[in-house]
């Protein structure tokens, strides 16, 4: 079993940074930490999890709905305000498929597709869900981002809470993510399971999809960070003989960082790297 120190990054493929970065900053309250060479790193001020956004050009495909990321607001009515704001600014941000707000399982959310071909979600989670044992409903922030820092929209995203992956078989996937990757199973929905690293609140929804058709490229992946380059090499040895690894890339060293890519039993991509400056 891998012993990562964190689930530290998501990698996200878009078409044009100039089109997609304003969606993160103006609609999701995220900030651009750095940008250069067709790549940008964005993060929400309340969430250590970073998204590395890759510019892949106009030909980059639309990603499945079940590979979305979601931010959370503090009050349910903010989801409705977000929906109104998205509709009013649809053309400005070149948004598509803005869904009406929908409630289910203590959650209320709105989805939209940004011009880079990715679905994004703005959700609210009822605190009642915590009492029902849903750990993912726990607060993902210590200090609420004040309206003054994201004014004029009627809603304030408070944290980046989750990413999403499709899977083929729920039980086999739960076993792989727990027993091979060393992640926690943090509950589940009616169909899905939630996986997370013990050290952080953000989680990945893993959803069984019958007869999956679209698969992601390595540009859409999650990064598990190891304590050292030696630990990365050890992880590579471990995954070479692990059941369920469908592709295993070579160990690479770039700018003093050691890392490799692999695809899991669902052909979803992951990166294992050490904690040197991550890209």
Which of residues 114 and 121 has its CB atom nearest to Fe ion in the complex? 121
Q: Looking at beta carbons only, is 70 or 273 nearer to Fe ion?
A: 70
By residue count, the chain amounts to 279
Pick 78 or 121: Cβ nearer Fe ion: 121
* Residues 114/26, Cβ–Cβ less than 8 Å: no
Nearer residue to Fe ion within complex by CB, 42 or 204: 204
**Least distance to Fe ion, CB of residue 111, Å:** 8
CB of 125 to Fe ion, least distance (A): 10
What does each C-alpha distance from 260 to 149, 228, 244, 250, 271 come to in angstroms? 38, 13, 16, 6, 6
Closest CB to Fe ion belongs to which residue?
70
Q: How far is the CB of 144 from Fe ion (least distance, A)?
A: 21
Distance CA 233, CA 135 (A): 33
Distance of closest approach, residue 68 Cβ to Fe ion, in angstroms: 6
Q: For residue 204, which of 235, 234, 172, 163 has the smallest C-alpha distance?
A: 163
Three-class SS state of 128 = helix
- With tokens 């004040």, the residue in question is 146
The residues of the shown chain that bind Fe ion, judged by CB under 5 A, are 70, 121
């Amino acid at each position: 079993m891998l012993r990562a120190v964190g689930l530290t990054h998501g990698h996200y493929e878009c078409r044009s940074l100039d089109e997609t970065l304003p969606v993160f900053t103006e609609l999701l309250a995220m900030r651009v930490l750095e940008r250069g060479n067709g790549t940008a790193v964005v993060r929400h001020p309340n969430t250590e999890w970073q998204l590395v956004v890759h510019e892949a050009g106009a030909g980059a495909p639309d990603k499945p709905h079940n590979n979305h990321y979601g931010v959370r607001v503090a009050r349910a009515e903010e989801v409705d305000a977000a929906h109104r704001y998205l509709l009013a600014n649809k053309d400005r941000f070149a948004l598509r498929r803005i869904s009406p707000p929908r409630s289910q399982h203590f959650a209320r959310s709105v989805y939209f597709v940004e011009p880079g071909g990715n679905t994004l979600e703005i959700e609210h989670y009822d605190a009642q869900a915590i009492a029902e044992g849903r750990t993912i409903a726990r607060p993902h922030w210590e200090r609420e981002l004040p309206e003054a820092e994201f004014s004029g929209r009627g809603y304030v995203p408070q944290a980046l809470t989750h990413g999403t992956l499709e899977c083929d078989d729920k039980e086999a996937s739960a076993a792989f993510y727990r027993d091979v990757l060393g992640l926690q199973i943090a509950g589940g929905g009616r169909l899905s399971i939630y996986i997370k690293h013990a050290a952080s609140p953000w989680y990945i929804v893993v959803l069984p999809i019958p007869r999956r058709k679209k698969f992601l490229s390595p540009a859409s992946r999650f990064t598990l960070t190891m304590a050292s380059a030696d630990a990365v090499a050890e992880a590579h040895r471990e995954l070479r003989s692990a059941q369920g690894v469908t592709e295993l890339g070579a160990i690479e060293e770039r700018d003093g960082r050691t890392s490799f890519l692999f695809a899991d039993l669902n052909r979803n991509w992951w990166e294992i790297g050490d904690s040197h400056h991550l890209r």
